[in-house]
């Protein structure tokens, strides 16, 4: 969440930024509640101060007048504290609904049409034949079975088979090894998390409709290990020497894909269940730009290692999450679709998550500050597998394995 002092001092900026992201937030109502909250807190503090003065002035048996004053103050305190208790839930609800403020270099726009291309990397391969899509390739090579998967798990379900299972593990391990060498602590974190973790990491209340609730026990399936990794240090105060804190999780992830009915239903592009290696960074504000480029660079190395042409886009305000201050996506080329598709998302969140999850650090002078958080995909399958199949297909229908993955797979080609 944002600092209420920042909201108070920058009301128009906060309202404008929220609107540019497509959110209508009652900032005026929030500030009125905040004013009432501060008035109540000040009155409570004054009464407690008066109560302490009476207690300190009494020596021996208290006078009747002192007892009457003390009783009157207690009655007032109970009344004001009840009012504060009644006010706080609505104040906190509105605070959680305020989106992060976009950085100055973020393009203003409504949707993906307003995103800005930063660069393209790698040559798009010109095939001497009409390239097949990943589902045609996967079906012909007995690597993908969507028909039986849907019978078992419903729409957007898939089954990977044979060499593609090994290739998936190779891709995940390849990414994990690169990330680990860069100093990340790798973890297999919970995929079942409490609502507190989703609020703390900024996925609630904004994205609640896309999260699977497991049962009545306040447990949810994560859509990314970012939620678990960010909240690993919730309610903790680190030392400045511990920063930057580099955390990586490898987990299965789950998303309802609400709002995508009829979109990307073919193949394994948009699914409910997938595997992902995630990067999360906790750092000081002065290091946030450097760390943003650091994790983006790692993702680029992984994509280059898979020998996939890609481009980098800076997302506009209307096409990035409520919690993001800045977002840059990597999109990989899909030959059969003749288009780039998103595979990585690099996000800078300022101290927005840290305020929710209460993650601080103590500087060299002993002062406490909220950390800044960033995250980026390491790799996510099966979408990236679809890109590998399509980009590395051969005329005879076989698939050549990228050289960087061959030590992990133990084979160089997939063929009938």
Tell me the per-residue pLDDT of 377-402, one tens digit each, with 9 for 90 and over.
999 999 999 999 999 999 999 999 99
pLDDT for the residue 53 = 87
> pLDDT class for 264, splitting at 50, 70, 90?
confident
Q: Would you call 93 a catalytic residue per the annotation?
A: no
Please report the pLDDT score of residue 405 as a whole number: 98
pLDDT score, position 68: 87
Over range 255-266, report the average pLDDT. Answer: 78
> Which candidate in 345, 347, 356, 390 is catalytic?
345
As a whole number, the mean pLDDT across the chain is 95
CB atoms within 10 A of CB 355: 19
Domain 4-96 has CATH 3.20.20.70: no
pLDDT at 260 over 80: no
pLDDT(152) > 90: yes
**Lookup: tokens for 83:** 């009012």
Catalytic residue among 182, 342, 362, 398, which?
A: 342
- Give the integer Cα–Cα distance in Å for 397 and 388: 13
Dist. CA 125–CA 224, nearest whole Å: 32
Q: Is the confidence at residue 259, as pLDDT, over 80?
A: no
% the chain with pLDDT above 70: 98
**Cα–Cα distance measured from residue 195 to residue 191, given in angstroms and rounded to the nearest whole number:** 12
pLDDT band of residue 261 (cuts 50, 70, 90) is: low
Gyration radius from the chain CA atoms? 26
pLDDT of residue 214: 92
Tell me the C-alpha to C-alpha distance, in Å, between residue 324 and each of 10, 19, 37, 48, 356. Answer: 18, 14, 28, 41, 14
pLDDT, tens digit, for every residue of 190-247?
999 999 999 999 999 998 999 999 987 899 999 999 999 999 999 999 999 999 999 9
Domain with CATH 3.30.930.10 in the chain: 112-414
SS3 assignment for the chain: CCCHHHHHHCHHHHHHHHHHCCCCCCHHHHHHHHHHHHHHHHHHHHHHHHHHHHHHHCCCCCCHHHHHHHHHHHHHHHHHHHHHHHHHHHHHHHHHCCCCCCCCCCCCCCCHHHCEEEEEECCCCCCCCCCCCHHHHHHHCCCECHHHHHHHHCCCCCCECCHHHHHHHHHHHHHHHHHHHCCCEEECCCCEEEHHHHHHCCCCCCCHHHCEECCCCCEEECCCCHHHHHHHHCCEEEEHHHCCEEEEEEEEEECCCCCCCCCCCCCCCCCCEEEEEEEEEEECHHHHHHHHHHHHHHHHHHHHHCCCCEEEEECCHHHCCCCCCEEEEEEEEECCCCEEEEEEEEEECCCHHHHHHCEEEECCCCCEEECEEEEEEEEEECHHHHHHHHHCECCCCCEECCHHHHHHHCCCEECC
Q: Which of 136, 245, 383, 390 is catalytic?
A: 383
Position 363 scores a pLDDT of 97
Minimal CA–CA distance to 373: which of 357, 389, 396?
357
Each residue of 335-374: pLDDT tens digit? Answer: 999 999 999 999 999 999 999 999 999 999 999 999 999 9
Q: Which two tokens stand for residue 269?
A: 């592009």
Render pLDDT for 110-141 as a digit per residue (tens, 0 to 9). 999 999 999 999 999 999 999 999 999 999 99
Domain with CATH 1.10.287.40 in the chain: 4-96
Q: What is the pLDDT of residue 66?
A: 72
pLDDT value of position 265: 73
Of the candidates 270, 301, 311, 362, the residue annotated as catalytic is: 270
| Tens digit of each residue's pLDDT (9 = 90 or more) over 80-113 | 999 999 999 999 999 999 999 999 999 999 999 9
| Percent of the chain surpassing pLDDT 90 | 92
Q: Which of 156, 245, 255, 356 is flagged as catalytic? A: 255
Q: Mean pLDDT across the stretch 309-319?
A: 98
369-403: b (≥16 Cβ within 10 Å) or e: ebbbbbbbbbbbbbbbbbbbbbbbbeeeeebbbbe
Q: Using 50, 70 and 90 to split pLDDT, how confident is the model at 60? A: low
Catalytic, 383? Answer: yes
Active site residue 270: yes
Task: Look at the domain 112-414 and name its fold.
Answer: BirA Bifunctional Protein; domain 2 (3.30.930)
Q: Which of 378, 345, 407, 402 is nearest to 172 (CA)?
A: 378
């Amino acid at each position: 969440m944002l600092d209420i002092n920042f909201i108070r001092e920058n009301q128009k900026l906060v309202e404008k930024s929220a609107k540019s992201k497509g959110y209508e937030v009652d900032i005026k109502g929030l500030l009125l509640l905040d004013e009432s909250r501060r008035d109540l807190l000040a009155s409570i503090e004054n009464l407690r101060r008066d109560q302490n003065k009476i207690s300190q002035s009494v020596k021996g048996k208290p006078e009747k007048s002192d007892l009457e004053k003390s009783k009157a103050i207690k009655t007032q305190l109970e009344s004001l504290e009840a009012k504060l208790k009644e006010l706080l839930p609505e104040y906190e609800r509105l605070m959680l609904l305020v989106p992060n403020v976009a950085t100055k270099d973020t393009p203003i726009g409504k949707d993906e049409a307003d995103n800005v291309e930063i660069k393209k990397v790698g040559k798009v391969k010109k095939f001497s034949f009409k390239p097949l899509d990943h589902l045609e390739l996967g079906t012909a090579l007995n690597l993908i079975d969507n028909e039986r998967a849907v019978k078992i798990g419903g729409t957007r379900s898939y089954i990977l088979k044979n060499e593609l299972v090994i290739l998936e593990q190779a891709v995940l391990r390849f990414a994990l090894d690169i990330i680990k060498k860069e100093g990340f602590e790798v973890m297999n974190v919970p995929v079942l998390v409490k609502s507190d973790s989703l609020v703390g990491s900024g996925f609630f209340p904004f994205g609640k409709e896309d999260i699977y609730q497991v049962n009545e026990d306040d447990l949810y399936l994560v859509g990314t290990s970012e939620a678990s990794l960010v909240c690993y240090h919730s309610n903790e105060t680190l030392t400045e020497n511990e920063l930057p804190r580099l955390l990586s999780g490898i987990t299965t992830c789950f998303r309802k894909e609400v709002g995508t009915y009829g979109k990307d239903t073919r193949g394994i592009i948009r699914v409910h269940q997938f595997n992902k290696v995630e990067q999360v960074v906790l750092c000081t504000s002065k290091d946030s730009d450097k760390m943003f480029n650091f994790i983006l660079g790692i993702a680029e190395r992984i994509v280059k290692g898979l020998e996939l042409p890609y481009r980098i886009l800076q997302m506009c305000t209307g096409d990035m999450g409520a919690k993001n201050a800045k977002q840059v996506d990597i999109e990989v080329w899909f030959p059969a679709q003749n288009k780039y598709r998103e595979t990585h998302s690099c996000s800078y969140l300022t101290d927005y998550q840290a305020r929710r999850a209460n993650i601080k650090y103590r500087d060299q002078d002993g002062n406490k500050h909220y950390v800044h958080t960033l995250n980026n995909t390491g790799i996510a399958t099966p979408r990236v597998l679809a890109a590998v199949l399509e980009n590395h297909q051969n005329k005879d229908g076989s698939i050549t394995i990228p050289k960087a993955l061959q030590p992990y797979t133990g084979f160089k080609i997939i063929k009938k």
